[in-house]
Each structure stands twice: as structure tokens, then as C-alpha cells.
Chain A
Amino acid sequence: MLKRVVGHVKAVDGVSLDIAPGRTLALVGESGCGKTTAGKAILQLIQPTAGSIRFRGTELTGMSDRKLRPLRRAMQIVFQNPFASLDPRMRVGEIIEEGVIALNIAETKHAQAERIGTLLKRVGLTEDTLGRYPHEFSGGQRQRIAIARALAVEPQLVICDEPTSALDVSVQAQILNLLKELQRSLGLSYLFITHNIAVVEYLADEVAVMYLGRIVEQGSTDEVLRTPRHPYTEALLAAVPRVESGGPPATLLSGDLSSRTSPPSGCPFHPRCPKAMDICRKTFPARTQLSERHGVDCHLYNA
């Protein structure tokens, strides 16, 4: 085997987040900004190099696999592409049961069947789906199966990694309704990874905007989306084509996301920033707290 290390990528750098029970935090940013990596690190699917992740007060980093196992039950993930995330050779029933069996939380056979029955109803599928294979279902139905699989072990935190970006608008609406309804009835917390601002507006309580592995702005959905402070957030919001407005956006970002292996010095956004100053090229801006929850990493707001 040949291996060649081209360079190391600092995928996520100095990210701090917290999610309260029953709340939704949206993590937004362009592809490659590290949002999925952050989600995986929370689930301990990737070991973070440094930092700490606490779940219900328990430190997860550095925990042995065996100790982690019972906690996995409480943290689940729904992936972006329901055409890739379901094993095509397994029946839907097996897919949903797998986690229950693997985590050893099965009750009696009868109780389990009953629980899966209610779960199916909850996500809007009929009982006869259990014996069928994923290829027999449409994208929206597959995403319902993926949600049922995540919920089968009764988690408290669900990481939703772009769960609707592969779906049509009308199907997206069904899945968003479902996720919202499940949150209400089960008290779930969501980490919602997305680049769709409309979905954030509709679903999230709080937003964190990521750029090149760092969170550059964070706060309540209202604050961040109505009064964006970071130039990147402003540009990101302006870039979203909206049905309400015609014509080109006011601020258009030029260039692409900078290289991850050799990120720019200072503020990572300065090569694309319309308001870049000298200091932005040299030092990374510290967090400025604009209100109790609304924080921004930008020299413009450093007093």
C-alpha cells in the first residue's frame, strides 16, 4: 500500500457550541467549511485533536469505545442522501431494528415489534414497509426510513446533516414538518447542518455560521438572520436567491473558499471580504459579544 500525505487539513478549528434540550441549532456554511466534520466529532465518529465535547455533563472525548456505547443510544444522525445511507440489501425492518439489536436495548420480541409499529406510524409509514427494500421507496419515504432508524433507539440528540437537500420542495416540506413534529412530541435536540437559509429560518432556534472551519458568527436565528454582522454572513444571506426579490444581490462574493491545507493568515475570510482592513491580514479577530447570545469574530466590531 502506498500512502502519500499531501498535508493536514484543519477541518474544524476552535469551534464552541452548545445545544439545550428540545432546541435546534443550525450550522450553516459552504461545502467544505467543516460543518459535517463538526457534527461527526460530536458523535465521536471522528476523534477531535483537541477540545472537549460534553453530553449531559459527561465528557465524551477520550472515552473508551465500550464506555461510549451506551451513550451512542442518545445521539443519532440522519444523513443527507437517503439513496446512499440505507443498505440496499437490507429490508426496512432490519434497517430500523439494527441499532436496537447492536446497542443491546431490545426488550421482548413482542414489545419491540409494537414499538417499531408506533415508530413507523409516527414517521408516516405503513406497517407493510417493514418487509420491503429501500429501492422500492421514493426519496422522501427513504428519508422517513432513515429518521425512523435514528429514532428507534430513542435518542435525545439527532444530528441532521442536510436531510432535505436531496429532496424536492414539496417533499422537503413534508420532512421538515415531520422533524418539527417529532421534536415537539419527543423533546429532541437537533443539530441541523445545512446550507439552506430558508430551512434555518423555519426550523432553527439558534444559528452558527462557519467559514473555513471556524464559527464566525453565532446567535439566535432572529438576530443572526435579521441583523447579520459578519461580512461573510451578510454575503451568504445576500447570495440566497429569494422568490420575494428579483435581480442580482447587492453584495456578491468573489473567489472561492480558500485552501484548507494552507489557510490564509489572520482572518480566514479576508481574501474575499469586501471590508478587509490591514489588521485582518495579520491577526485572527477575537469574539465580540454583541448581545447575550449574539457573538461575532470580526475586527469591525472590536472596540
Chain B
Amino acid sequence: MSAPLVEVEHLRTVVGGSSGLVHAVDDVSFTIAAGETFALLGESGCGKSMTALSIMRLLPDGGQIKEGTVRFEGQDVLGLTEANMRNVRGGAMAMIFQEPATSLNPVLTVGQQIGEVLSRHFGLSRREARQRAAELLVHVGIANQEHRLDEYPFQFSGGMNQRVMIAMALAGSPRLLIADEPTTALDVTTQAQVLDLMASLQARANMAMLLITHDLGIVGRLAHWVGVMYAGELVEVAPRGAFFSTPRHPYTRKLFAALPSATQRHGKLETIVGNVPSLTKIFTACRFADRCPNVSDLCRTKPPAWHRVASGHEVRCHLYDASLRWEIAQAQPLRRIPSRRHWWSTPGLCSPSRTSGCTFRSGRVCSSGWLAMSRPSMA
């Protein structure tokens, strides 16, 4: 991998809420290389959008970046003056939002909105801008472009509006595209079209993409790297393959198990007990401890550090701390994998259907990352 295009280090963002300061983003670090997509996955309120807005420096009122650095092409974005930031924002760094209908200006034509970017960042004349805007519309798959340029957002469907948003973002020839839930407001068939479009545009322009989503399916289709966020912090970072074949963090595993599918028709879906903790307090232990099926005493007293489980695959969880493994093992009985879905079915995995071939030994992590606390009963 070449030098990363974007480096986010120890980012800490707070938002002033009515019930005190909310620690929306807490010590988040990741990098994105050119041509790659990093997906930030998490449930609502976990801080993924705030991370994106911090990078763009578009935080809402009361939002403040407390600590950390964001380097973009080696340049410290957080240290730029607002005037300089304006040259970056919408130019080399662009963003698409969730609701195309509310993010476009309803009283300007599509051509004017795309043209605004072009004259701001490239100083194009009105005629040049119009011509370039028409090209961009063709690029994102909008036919009859000359006529469409003079139309207003309300004359477009949801999917078409999202294409217009993408065209606007592309107008500045960005090297980093941040997409915040780009298809959540769209139908599945339209979503498939837009995801496809984003992937092909990315490949063509060798753009880096930060994709924010709560949908595991979208992650599977677009991401090269996945970061899972929970309660303001990253808890797992992995390449896509490893993420889907061997998710490690108990929270990630729970997310997979909560997905409805035909194989679970006659059973109950896995749920996560309890609620996401309030982000107003300062955490002194693992944030997921109260909801975790693998919790031990240690989790309630000490915040977990990052542990590398494979190349590029890191988890913030005590379960993967080699030096502590025995301690946890003694405090906790073996837990079976809660689901029989096929992504768990990797060799050596101790699932009910595979116990016969299991080579678990107490205190060891098997190839799927599950920690054996004692020898499982051989059925």
C-alpha cells in the first residue's frame, strides 16, 4: 500500500448537548489509501457521521474537535484557516449526504448548483461551467443532459437527485469522497444502480472513499476496509474479506447474528441486550461490557487496548489480549457461537455442527477467533 491519502489520528470530537457535553467521537484513528473505500459501520448515534463531519470541518453548532489530527495528502486539515479549508472542501474533498431531496437547493436549477462548484474551484465561466456540468450529468448516467440542467430538484426522482449530488461532488475532481449513508433513502433497485455507479466512478478516478453506513450488505458490496464503531469509538478494523469471514469483536458478531434470514425462520433472532450507553459520561472500562455475551470482570474495570489478530485486522477487546488470555479463561466458561450461519463455518470453528472436528484447547483462540475456555463436549 502506498502512503495513505487520508490519515485520521486520535480524533476526539465533542458536541454540546442540552444534557451536557456529548463525546461523539472518541480517539478514532484510521487511514484511507487512494482508490480504496473505508467503510465506517455502526448504528445510529455511534459517531460515524460526526467523524465524517469532523474531517470535512462541517460540525454543527456546539461541535468542537478537541484532539487529534486529520492529514489529507500530508496536509494538516484541522490547522487550515477557514478560507483555505474552503478551497479544499468541495474541491479535493467532497461529500454526499443521506437525503438528496433535502441537501439540494430547491430554488436553484441543477445546472446552477453544479456550476457553482465549477466556478468556485476552477474559475470557469458560465458557459464553460454549463458545458462541464452537462458532461458530469452524462458521467453519472443522466440522459437528456442539456434539458435536465435547467430543471429543479423536485423534477427529479430520489435516485436521480442522488446522481445529481454525486455529480456535484465530482465537479471538484475530489481525491476523497465522503458518502454519508448515500443510499439509505433509496429503493433497493435504485440503490443497486447508485452503488454500482459509485464503484465505477471510484475506479476510474482512483478516488479514496469514506463510506458511512449501517448496512452490512452495502459494506460487502463497496468496501475494501471496514471500521466498526460503537459508542463513539472504533472497536474493530479489518479488510473486507476477514471482516465477513471472521468478525472478531463481540459487537460485530452480534450485528451479524441480528440480521434476519431464511435459515432463522423457526428461531429467534439474536438481539443485543440493553441500550447503547450515553455518550455524556467518561468511560473507564469497555463500552460494550454491559451488553457483551463474553464479558469478564476485567472488561468492567479496564478499557481494552487494540490487539492485532491478523495482518491489518485489529480488535479493541480484551478477549484478544494474549497476555490476559488465561486470566479471562479461568473467569469464564466456554461460550458457543450463537449462530449457525455459514460465515461462521470456517474450519476449526466450534459450532454445533462441527464439534466433531474441533481442535480447541483451553485458552486458545481458534482460527475463527473464538476463544475456547475449556474443551467443548464432543457430541
Which chain A residues have a beta carbon within 8 Å of chain B's beta carbons?
30-31, 138-139, 168-174, 176-177, 180-181, 195, 197-199, 201-203, 221, 225, 235-236, 238-249, 252-254, 256-257
Contacts and interface: CB of A to CB of B under 8 A. Distances in A.
A257 B256 CA distance: 32
Contact of A241 (B190, B192, B254, B262): B192
Nearest to B188: A239
Given A199-B260, A202-B265, A138 B275 contact: yes
Contacts of B157: 256-257
Interface stretch (B75-83, B98-106, B210-218, B346-354): B210-218
B43 A168 contact: yes
Nearest to B216: A243
A240 B268 contact: no
23 contacts: A30-B187, A168-B44, A169-B43, A170-B254, A173-B259, A174-B271, A176-B269, A177-B269, A197-B188, A199-B260, A201-B261, A202-B264, A203-B260, A240-B188, A243-B219, A244-B220, A244-B342, A244-B343, A248-B199, A248-B221, A252-B196, A253-B189, A256-B160
Interface in B235-281: 240, 244, 254-256, 258-262, 264-265, 268-272, 275
Closest 6 CB pairs of A and B: A241-B217, A202-B260, A239-B192, A173-B258, A173-B269, A201-B262
Please tell me the size bucket of the interface on B.
35 or more
B192 A249 contact: yes
B161 to A, nearest CB: 11
A243 B189 contact: no
Contacts of B232: none
B159 A201 contact: no
Interface of B: 43-44, 157-160, 187-193, 195-196, 199, 214-221, 240, 244, 254-256, 258-262, 264-265, 268-272, 275, 342-343
B259 A198 contact: yes
A53 to B, nearest CB: 27
A243 B269 contact: no
Contacts of A257: 157
A289 B272 CA distance: 43
Contacts of B268: 177, 180-181
B221 A246 contact: yes
A248 B43 contact: no
Contacts of A241: 191-192, 195, 215, 217-218, 220-221
Contacts of A244: 220, 342-343
Contacts of A168: 43-44, 214
Given A30-B188, A201-B265, A246-B240, A173 B217 contact: no
Given A30-B187, A202-B264, A241-B191, A248 B216 contact: no
B257 to A, nearest CB: 8
Nearest to B264: A202
A173 B260 contact: yes
A172 B254 CA distance: 13
Contacts of B264: 202
A240 B193 contact: no
Nearest to B190: A256
Contacts of A253: 189, 192-193
Contacts of B158: 31
A174 B260 CA distance: 11
Contact of A170 (B160, B188, B244, B272): B272
A245 B43 CA distance: 22
A31 B185 CA distance: 10
Most buried by B among A172, A201, A243: A243
Contacts of B215: 241
Contacts of B342: 244
Contact of A169 (B187, B193, B258, B275): B258
Contacts of A173: 258-260, 269-271
Contacts of B195: 241, 248
A247 B258 contact: no
A184 B213 CA distance: 34
A241 B187 CA distance: 12
Interface centre among B158, B190, B216, B342 (most CB of A within 10 A): B190
A138 to B, nearest CB: 7
A202 B262 contact: yes
A199 B342 CA distance: 18
B196 to A, nearest CB: 5
Nearest to B158: A31
Nearest to A232: B189
Contact of B191 (A201, A239, A242, A246): A239
B192 A252 contact: yes
A139 B191 CA distance: 24
A202 B240 contact: no
Max count, chain A CB within 10 A of own CB: residue among B193, B215, B218 = B193
Given A240-B217, A248-B221, A256-B160, A169 B188 contact: no
A242 B219 CA distance: 9
Given A243-B216, A246-B221, 18 more contacts: A168-B43, A169-B258, A169-B259, A172-B260, A173-B259, A201-B260, A202-B264, A236-B188, A238-B192, A239-B191, A240-B217, A241-B192, A241-B218, A243-B256, A248-B195, A252-B196, A253-B193, A254-B193
Contacts of A249: 192
Contacts of A235: 189
B165 to A, nearest CB: 16
Given A176-B269, A202-B269, A236-B188, A245 B220 contact: yes
Nearest to A198: B260
B187 A31 contact: yes
Contact of A239 (B189, B219, B244, B254): B189
Contact of B187 (A195, A225, A245, A246): A195
B337 to A, nearest CB: 16
A202 B257 CA distance: 13
A142 B221 CA distance: 32
B100 to A, nearest CB: 13
A246 B242 CA distance: 13
A202 B259 CA distance: 9
